[in-house]
Structure 1
Amino acid sequence: MKTSIIILTHNQLDYTKQCIESIDKYTKEGSYEIIIVDNHSTDGTVEWLKQQNNLKVIFNNENLGFPKGCNQGIEIATGENILLLNNDTIVTKNWLDNLLTCLYSSDDIGAVGPVTNSAAYYSTIPVNYTSIDEMHQFAASYNVSDPNKWEERLKLIGFCMLIKKEAVDKVGLLDERFTPGNFEDDDYSVRLRKAGYRLMLCKDTFIHHYGSVSWEKYADTFNRVLPENEKKFKEKWGTDVNSYRIEHEMVELITASKEKAIQVLHIGCGSGGTLLKVKHEYPLAQLYGIENNPFSIEEASRFARVTSSFEDEEIRERKFDVILFSDNDNDFKIDESLLKFVKEHLKKNGIFIAKVPNIGHYLVIQDLLNGHNPCEKCNMYSFSQIKNLLKNAGFKVSISGLKPFISDDQQQFINKLIAVRGDAIRPMLESSYFLVSGQLENGQLLSLLNKLASEQSNDSKVLEELNHYPMEHIITTVKENYHSSVTMLNKIAIENFAAGNHEHVLPYLQAAFEEEPDNTDTLYNLAFVLNAYGEKELANRYLSLIKNPDDEVQKLFEEINERPLKKIQELKFLLRRLEFDIDLEETKQMIVHKLTQNEIEEQLIKEVINTSIIDKIKVLQSIAIICFEQGLHEQVLPYLQAAYELDKANEDTLYNLGYVLLYYGENELAERFLQQIQQPDEQVLDLLRVARGESL
């Protein structure tokens, strides 16, 4: 399979040389062709290209721009894949193999791209290399193919985009209306997705990107072309780049289990970038969206159930684990009506997460001072406004500010405002958005806790309902509402322990201990529970913290420390009977019972043999044979191995190891042990023949 690598050049010869050299070094010979389209370079690039024998080159008499140049390259390409690559990149070890692995992992994947150090649309990763050599060292360890690191995206960035030729044939060439460049990759991503293809970002593949080298000398042109092409994109598709945003900060606030099929609704979901991120982080999630832009609805509907109406039947009849809200320049806003909808459709333990613009941000204030109205484009909120809206609706609210990069000039403006109002307003001025999370202050939780405390109702039913709430939420509610929170936390733990709800025991006792470390009841309960769970050493540690132990504490201490001693004495008795062949069958039966009931563990057996048995090898072999006969196969080899370590020439041990390993199908290893027997008898020789595959 051949890949046609298409590179456009317009001056910047040094970068072009580095790029091509890296391709030759880090790409399998014969798996690619390089097509250079030169857009009228004047720095010696043309002359250098004419000297190269391994390149296909198109020389343009004028700068035709990126889309047209790429199309010229595609038209002469002979590969099964098309790779658009900027000349200011340096490729790395395994780069193309990894990208191809992802591209051909599914028929519906049309294009893939790598991560880098400098690119748009969340395709960069943090790096700390300081030279190209260090970069290659980093990439060599980073570029390990891993399907778990592939992430579906709404669009890919054109600095490095690998596309199936069949997809190019189906979709067509790049749209040249975006000449000289920018937004042609956004447009092509849309067209690929509309044709039924998925796009994947390969987070297992890194290449270096110097970034916008070709535009640096033409900053004025770039600043003019960017908004012009964004306008063309919006005119063509009816949406802008904001609809593709991925709200990573909101997704990070979701704390559900990855194995749980959570139901997520995104109000103002745009084209679904954030929902796609949720899908990547929570593969079993069921995704829903509400959006009023027809194009965005079509885009997001490829992987989520998206509607334009809050009254949609499937939305109206459903409750969600997570409801997200984004302001994507649409008609949705956080008000009493929307919060009423959220309350009605949020599950009991669900969370509402919103990212909203801050009306107190310094850039908004600058706009106002310059005579503009920044609120025309979207709804904005003050800190107190958004906090009060959620609190009045019955939510427990957490709000944090999202701070973007601030230049020195901008910081001076902020400092002038602070000089007037004080440093307390700094967080408000610097935060461009508020990240808001809210959970319903459910009065039912407090009611359940009160019932449990009063013991006036069926405790098992109360516990069942109570355990549907997150433990962190219950602990917080207890601390905020009970004068004796430690007593209540102990109560919840004890009731759950009695009911067999063991995962709901230690967290409450630990919370009580953190609240009051010297509380006798908490220390006793921790010791009691830990002893029941087999954590005797830790149980002893908590008991030792009790300052004035009473008879009950002393009794528990004796119980914790008596049982292990009794177990050791019983085991020592049985192993000595085994050593001296006393009532052998009865002894074996007693050992089998303890092994099958997990009353004695391997480590304890080995410790007792080591400290209390004379003929250690005999007893270890006997235990191994007992385990083998009873089908306890995972316990056989550890005892035989221990016997072998004591005497590597013991013929009984070597024979038993050979026999057992043959039974387990490890013929080569069995032969190795059997060959160590110095004077093999006929039985040993028979086993050796079996191990070697010879007929008896």
Structure 2
Amino acid sequence: MNNSTATQILEALNVGNEGIRYLDDCIQRGELSLSDLGILNNMLDLLSALENTTLDVSAPNRVNEIIANIRYYIERLEISVNDNVNSFIYDFRFHLCSLFRILEFEFAYLVENYINKADYPYLYPDVGNVDHDWIASQGEEANLKVSVVLVGYNNLDYTRDCVESILANTDDVEYELILVDNGSTDGTKEYFDSISGAKVIYLKYNLHVTKGFNIGLMAAEGKYSAAVCNDFIFTPKWLWNLIECIESDSKIGYVSPASNSISNMQQIPIPFISKEDFQEKARKHNVSDPTKWEERVVLLPNVLCCPTALLDRVGYYDTRFFRGEFVDDDISFKIRRAGYKLIYCADTVTHHYGSLTTAADHLTNSLEEGRQTFFEKYKLDAWEEARMQSFYLDIEPELLSGVYSILGLDSKCGATLLQLKNRIWSERHVKSELLTLTSNDKYKEDLLTISDKVSIFNDFSNLKQQIDKTIDMIFIEEPLDSYNIELSDLFNYLAEALNKEGKLIFTISNGISIEALYSMLNNANSIHNKKIYVTDLVCKEANESGFELISIKDYAIPRSSESIAIINKLSHSLSSGAQDEINYLNTLLSCSYRLFQMKLKST
């Protein structure tokens, strides 16, 4: 691959795009002639040329499967043009046009390192600013309120449950149902065809989850699109509640509900004995409640509910996520960086059977592959830097009172900090002002999406001057032992930046956790010279600066099965009669951090 080849590919795709737009104009004017269909033959020649191009790229792609689907629909168009005009128009609009756009995105990704993206803004949605006014105006011109897009690949029994739950529980919102059969072989297409009024998109050859969703979303004509997988069951008022939330604030660009089985702290466990029992319990739960709306850095799309024009502008799901893993994190980043909020709607619960859509890919190394793809795109680790830590649940309720402003210090992309703000909103009905300081410039872009003010942090001594005010709470996510400053000075500077009875939350590392031991053993050139803070010393220095201790709690980060096995092996190496010692060693090795919660003493 070289610059010349990359340019030739994109220029060839542009010729194909012009041909499709010409046919579309002819159809819109009702002036399509048989001679115009010669463009389809030209398209076949173009596809052959693209297939024969030597890409010389290692990135996984589905070029061949996309082209095979396009060829299938060109053949159908040539047959139906004389027999069924409506079928011709439908296949042209919702199959051929969308498939060609998917092909454009696929090639654009493969050649992106060899061209100037600014020369091809249509192919690179990350180029340029997002016009919020344009997106709003497109929504006002939409044909209906919501397009519900369901993607199914086999698993017909689950798909039927999903579709029936949508039909039974969505009569309170104007919507169209778009059903994408992603190359199923079990009768899914025939079932979809039997659903009255549904818009059925059929892929002859499986394009997998990312492109399967994209072709359905490209067919959407609603103001909003709500993309769902076939392994969910939907519940009373599910869509009504989501639309209630997204229309409450023009800055909201993506909402998603809870589920009984999901990660990212979007789970609401509801015990049930039957589908009917679950539906009845969900009916009682699904009452719109803004105090249960949480702004997030990353959302998992139990439902990807967004303005349709916004999805179009950001380029839908990113085709580079070959198996679909971490495409959820990516769409969250794209929408948030486009200037919109992500809201988790905990007032609405759905049922999730569990990853049927991507089950086959889970048999591969898809998680690590997707995680690496995300890192290559953003230079961020989606798990380590953009997901929240569960310890926010352990913050003592008394610390949440009277918190109208929060300073987050070195809180990475801000996920845990934002969840702390959410908890104050949920429990105290206060929307705290959020300020952030970061010592790493790479986090600034994402912190700007959630904070009222973001500054680069380099010195505790001028902390109060940097924030230009005193505040009610300081949350430091980076462990205190990572800073090169004396504890006595540190607590004095923090106290100066806080209001009367201000709160302080921070962590210190456990120097003999399994992670710390790994670090020492694996880096032979370094000496373990991090500060080691004894709890009593931390509390003493904080007390002398005016802080009183509220709570100390230990917590562990998620760890690998290898780490767990080592912990178990070390602890069980003790004699069987020393159970207290075994428990103590287990605690020492498993504890990653110690969480301190303090507040300034009343004077």
TM class by shorter-chain length? 0.5 to 0.7
In the alignment, which residue of structure 1 is the partner of 2:507? Answer: 355
Asked if 1:304 corresponds to 2:447, the answer is no
Residue 230 of structure 1: CA displacement?
2.1
In the alignment, which residue of structure 2 is the partner of 1:278? Answer: 420
In the alignment, which residue of structure 1 is the partner of 2:410? Answer: 268
Q: Deviations over 1:562-598 (max 9, x none)?
A: xxxxxxxxxxxxxxxxxxxxxxxxxxxxxxxxxxxxx
In the alignment, the residues of structure 1 paired with residue 274 and residue 531 of structure 2 have an alpha-carbon distance, to the nearest angstrom, of 45
In the alignment, which residue of structure 2 is the partner of 1:391? Answer: 540
Asked if 1:237 corresponds to 2:237, the answer is no
Name which of structure 1's ranges 98-107 and 258-267 shifts more when overlaid on structure 2. Answer: 258-267
Q: Deviations over 1:165-220 (max 9, x none)?
A: 23224333221111220222222222222222222111111111122123334433
C-alpha contact (below 8 Å) 1:93/1:140 kept by paired residues: yes
In the alignment, which residue of structure 1 is the partner of 2:595? Answer: 435
In the alignment, which residue of structure 1 is the partner of 2:280? Answer: 137
1:538-553 alignment runs, 5 A limit:
none
1:607-618 alignment runs, 5 A limit:
none
Question: Which residue identity does 2:243 align to in structure 1?
Answer: L
In the alignment, the residues of structure 2 paired with residue 266 and residue 324 of structure 1 have an alpha-carbon distance, to the nearest angstrom, of 5
Change (3 A) 1:131 1:409: farther
Q: Deviations over 1:46-75 (max 9, x none)?
A: 443344444322222333222211111111
C-alpha contact (below 8 Å) 1:118/1:124 kept by paired residues: yes
In the alignment, the residues of structure 2 paired with residue 405 and residue 239 of structure 1 have an alpha-carbon distance, to the nearest angstrom, of 18
Q: Matched residue of 2:295: which SS? A: strand
In the alignment, the residues of structure 2 paired with residue 260 and residue 217 of structure 1 have an alpha-carbon distance, to the nearest angstrom, of 50
In the alignment, the residues of structure 2 paired with residue 114 and residue 343 of structure 1 have an alpha-carbon distance, to the nearest angstrom, of 39
Residue 363 of structure 1: CA displacement?
5.8
Change (3 A) 1:11 1:380: farther
Change (3 A) 1:5 1:321: same
Q: Matched residue of 1:214: which SS? A: coil
C-alpha contact (below 8 Å) 2:181/2:202 kept by paired residues: yes
Count of residue correspondences: 437
1:27-38 alignment runs, 5 A limit:
27-28=170-171, 31-38=174-181
Residue 143 of structure 1: CA displacement?
0.4
Question: Which residue identity does 2:373 align to in structure 1?
Answer: K
In the alignment, the residues of structure 1 paired with residue 490 and residue 405 of structure 2 have an alpha-carbon distance, to the nearest angstrom, of 19
C-alpha contact (below 8 Å) 2:298/2:387 kept by paired residues: no
TM-score using structure 2 length = 0.64
Asked if 1:167 corresponds to 2:310, the answer is yes
Question: Which residue identity does 1:141 align to in structure 2?
Answer: K
Q: Deviations over 1:437-476 (max 9, x none)?
A: 2456x7xxxxxxxxxxxxxxxxxxxxxxxxx44xxxxxxx
Change (3 A) 1:405 1:265: closer
Change (3 A) 1:438 1:328: closer
Asked if 1:341 corresponds to 2:341, the answer is no
In the alignment, the residues of structure 1 paired with residue 524 and residue 150 of structure 2 have an alpha-carbon distance, to the nearest angstrom, of 41
In the alignment, the residues of structure 1 paired with residue 275 and residue 243 of structure 2 have an alpha-carbon distance, to the nearest angstrom, of 24
Residue 155 of structure 1: CA displacement?
2.4
In the alignment, the residues of structure 2 paired with residue 257 and residue 396 of structure 1 have an alpha-carbon distance, to the nearest angstrom, of 12
Q: Deviations over 1:235-263 (max 9, x none)?
A: 32232223333345346535458773543
In the alignment, the residues of structure 2 paired with residue 185 and residue 422 of structure 1 have an alpha-carbon distance, to the nearest angstrom, of 41
Q: Deviations over 1:3-58 (max 9, x none)?
A: 21112222222211110010111111782222222222233434433444443222
In the alignment, which residue of structure 1 is the partner of 2:555? Answer: 402
Q: Identity across aligned pairs (percent)?
A: 30
Residue 356 of structure 1: CA displacement?
4.3
2:340 aligned residue (197, 202, 224): 197
Question: Which residue identity does 1:308 align to in structure 2?
Answer: I
Change (3 A) 1:333 1:234: farther
Change (3 A) 1:295 1:158: farther
Residue 227 of structure 1: CA displacement?
2.2
In the alignment, which residue of structure 1 is the partner of 2:522? Answer: 372
C-alpha contact (below 8 Å) 2:399/2:503 kept by paired residues: no
C-alpha contact (below 8 Å) 1:250/1:353 kept by paired residues: no
1:518-557 alignment runs, 5 A limit:
none
Residue 115 of structure 1: CA displacement?
0.8
Change (3 A) 1:227 1:214: same
Change (3 A) 1:54 1:363: farther
In the alignment, the residues of structure 1 paired with residue 494 and residue 146 of structure 2 have an alpha-carbon distance, to the nearest angstrom, of 50
In the alignment, which residue of structure 1 is the partner of 2:569? Answer: 413
In the alignment, which residue of structure 1 is the partner of 2:474? Answer: 323
Q: Matched residue of 2:534: which SS? A: helix
Asked if 1:85 corresponds to 2:238, the answer is no
Change (3 A) 1:38 1:165: same
TM-score using structure 1 length = 0.56
In the alignment, the residues of structure 2 paired with residue 375 and residue 340 of structure 1 have an alpha-carbon distance, to the nearest angstrom, of 35
Question: Which residue identity does 1:324 align to in structure 2?
Answer: F
Residue 233 of structure 1: CA displacement?
2.0
Asked if 1:15 corresponds to 2:171, the answer is no
Q: Deviations over 1:412-441 (max 9, x none)?
A: 42541554854433322332332122456x
1:247-258 alignment runs, 5 A limit:
247-250=389-392, 252-253=394-395, 255=397
Instruction: Say which structure is richer in helix.
Output: 1
Which structure 1 residue ranges, 5 or more long, are not aligned? Answer: 443-467, 470-696
Q: Deviations over 1:500-544 (max 9, x none)?
A: xxxxxxxxxxxxxxxxxxxxxxxxxxxxxxxxxxxxxxxxxxxxx
In the alignment, the residues of structure 2 paired with residue 132 and residue 84 of structure 1 have an alpha-carbon distance, to the nearest angstrom, of 22
C-alpha contact (below 8 Å) 2:228/2:303 kept by paired residues: yes
Q: Matched residue of 1:178: which SS? A: coil
In the alignment, the residues of structure 2 paired with residue 216 and residue 379 of structure 1 have an alpha-carbon distance, to the nearest angstrom, of 45
Name which of structure 1's ranges 134-143 and 243-252 shifts more when overlaid on structure 2. Answer: 243-252
Change (3 A) 1:168 1:19: same
In the alignment, the residues of structure 2 paired with residue 185 and residue 329 of structure 1 have an alpha-carbon distance, to the nearest angstrom, of 32
In the alignment, which residue of structure 1 is the partner of 2:169? Answer: 26
In the alignment, the residues of structure 1 paired with residue 173 and residue 557 of structure 2 have an alpha-carbon distance, to the nearest angstrom, of 46
Change (3 A) 1:29 1:246: closer
Change (3 A) 1:204 1:170: same
2:268 aligned residue (116, 125, 136): 125
Q: Matched residue of 1:349: which SS? A: strand
2:217 aligned residue (71, 74, 83): 74
In the alignment, the residues of structure 1 paired with residue 417 and residue 588 of structure 2 have an alpha-carbon distance, to the nearest angstrom, of 29
Q: Matched residue of 2:363: which SS? A: helix
In the alignment, which residue of structure 2 is the partner of 1:675? Answer: none
In the alignment, the residues of structure 2 paired with residue 401 and residue 290 of structure 1 have an alpha-carbon distance, to the nearest angstrom, of 25
Change (3 A) 1:380 1:117: farther
Q: Matched residue of 2:540: which SS? A: helix
1:216 aligned residue (354, 359, 363): 359
C-alpha contact (below 8 Å) 2:257/2:348 kept by paired residues: yes
In the alignment, the residues of structure 1 paired with residue 309 and residue 512 of structure 2 have an alpha-carbon distance, to the nearest angstrom, of 51
Which structure 2 residue ranges, 5 or more long, are not aligned? Answer: 1-143
Asked if 1:188 corresponds to 2:331, the answer is yes
C-alpha contact (below 8 Å) 1:357/1:379 kept by paired residues: no
Question: Which residue identity does 1:79 align to in structure 2?
Answer: G
Question: Which residue identity does 1:391 align to in structure 2?
Answer: K
Question: Which residue identity does 1:271 align to in structure 2?
Answer: C
Change (3 A) 1:415 1:122: same
In the alignment, the residues of structure 1 paired with residue 327 and residue 176 of structure 2 have an alpha-carbon distance, to the nearest angstrom, of 23
Question: Which residue identity does 1:372 align to in structure 2?
Answer: N
Q: Matched residue of 2:357: which SS? A: helix
In the alignment, the residues of structure 2 paired with residue 48 and residue 168 of structure 1 have an alpha-carbon distance, to the nearest angstrom, of 28
In the alignment, which residue of structure 1 is the partner of 2:60? Answer: none
Change (3 A) 1:154 1:374: farther
C-alpha contact (below 8 Å) 1:250/1:355 kept by paired residues: no
Name which of structure 1's ranges 299-308 and 15-24 shifts more when overlaid on structure 2. Answer: 299-308
Residue 92 of structure 1: CA displacement?
0.3
C-alpha contact (below 8 Å) 1:146/1:204 kept by paired residues: yes
Bigger CA radius of gyration: 1
